[in-house]
Amino acid sequence: MSFSVIVLAAGQGTRMGSSRPKVLQLLAGKPLLHHVLAACRIIVPQQTIVVCGYKGELVQQSCKAFVVDWVWQSEQRGTGHAVQTAYPDLSYVDQVLVLYGDVPLVTGATLKQLLAATPVNAVGILTANLANPTGLGRIIRDAQNNVVAIVEQKDATEQQRLIKEINTGIYVLPYKYLAAWLANLQAHNQQKEYYLTDIIAMAVDAGVPVLAHQVDNLLEVAGVNSQQQLSELERSYQMSHANELMTLGVKIYDPARLDIRGVVTVGSDVEIDINVILEGDVVLGDNVIIGPNVTIKNSVLGAGTIVHANSFIDGLDAASDCQIGPFARIRPGTKLNTKSKIGNFVEIKNAIIDEQSKINHLSYIGDAEVGKRVNIGAGVITCNYDGANKHKTIIEDDVFVGSNCELVAPVTVGKGATLAAGTTLVKDAPAGALTLTKKVIEIITSWKRPVKQVVAQKEEI
């Protein structure tokens, strides 16, 4: 069976208290709408239509990575009106799946199950059982357990309000009936809006089966209408992912202080301390230890690697048994080979650091190739940028670079060479030799250290 998806994403979300469209509020580092569109990718619809409205240009710009058709709803008059707006742009299909840009955590697996459970000539509803369903529409069933209606909280009887099964608003609708049902929607309510829930009564009256598919994970159907709800959903999302990692054997010092904003792959006996952020695609090998207050983004850390406190890592490919930090910054394009060490207040960018090399203190190494068993002292920098272009520094195996050296690229330091402290290297240093910048020390014995002048204050009369 063929199907298309309509994602309703036109609302402003005034209760968010933000000028940003609600569907662009961030959850786990991504806009709410991106989560929904990622789930759509998994189920591979024939067509995905996003209904946008408030600041729709921003919404469209944020979704360039997704293949969608855009429909404008200039006036927001309810869920039924949004689907009416999208219907003319639908290609012919068997079924239409309706999703919401502010219900971000529904999974592709659940949507596949809902579609599979809904015959082509039936209506499918995703429902959930809540301990406290206050404020939500209840699923009404007959004596044969068939769904016959959805009753909103304000219209429900006392008996109906005891029902725990609620309507999530996610539907599978048969395309061949949809045009007529949408045309018959009425705005006879206080809000003067067209509600998609009215279609359920139309389906029942027409003898079209209405089938409910219950979701177990309530996070999947949680909507976002306020910053408080967004914060609660964020913490629930993060806790669920922390629990998944702990199930895999990861030691997490405090699950409430771990943020996962992407996909994390872990080996065995990984340890993660407090206030760690893992963003993008992150791979942590066996026995990796992550210290407190560390951010790791789009990186691979080989087995036995240790990241010490307060380090920021982005775009790193590290082999086994490396050490990083504390207070290190690793920028994209960096590769660390086995047992290399990046120490405190060291910044590395677009550089290869080979086996057993050490950069321990207060250095910047950019656009460089550093060989094996190299020792780089404190305060060393590669001067890789001339104001217009970047240039490479090559440091071969077994080099010793003294403290406070400047390597003005492009330059090569030969194998086994030594650079004396304070050297400014503007040409290649030969292998096995000592290279230094000669400086004349001048001593002035008559010099007097300045004394702070004290201005006398006048005595008040």
Report the catalytic residues. Answer: 361
240: Cα separation from own chain's centroid: 15
Sign (positive or negative) of CA dihedral 66, 20, 263, 341 = positive
The rounded distance, in Å, linking the Cα atoms of 312 and 292 is 11
User: Residue 43: in which H helix or E strand, if any?
Assistant: helix 32-43
178: Cα separation from own chain's centroid: 36
Tokens of 257: 């202080």
Tokens of 154: 């304000």
Tokens of 318: 């590290």
Please name the residues in contact with 395: beta carbons below 8 A apart, sequence gap of 6 or more. Answer: 368, 369, 370, 371, 374, 376, 401, 407, 412, 413
Contact 324, 318 (CB under 8 A): yes
Tokens of 389: 């272009």
Strand-pair partners of 341:
323, 358
The rounded distance, in Å, linking the Cα atoms of 94 and 212 is 19
How many alpha carbons lie under 13 Å from residue 342 in its C-beta half-sphere? 37
Phi then psi for residue 244, to 5 deg, are -60, -45
How far is CA 150 from each of CA 127, 140, 202, rounded to the nearest angstrom? 11, 6, 11
Tokens of 399: 């080099």
Sign (positive or negative) of CA dihedral 122, 101, 275, 312 = positive
- The identity of residue 404, as a single letter, is N
How far is CA 219 from each of CA 239, 255, 282, 307, rounded to the nearest angstrom? 11, 18, 24, 32
CA end-to-end span of the chain: 98
- 175-183 vs 79-86: helix crossing angle, rounded to 10: 120
The DSSP call for residue 178 is: H
If you count them, how many residues does the chain have? 461
How many alpha carbons lie under 13 Å from residue 122 in its C-beta half-sphere? 16
Contact 424, 437 (CB under 8 A): yes
DSSP strand pairing (165-174 vs 95-100): antiparallel
Tokens of 29: 């580092």
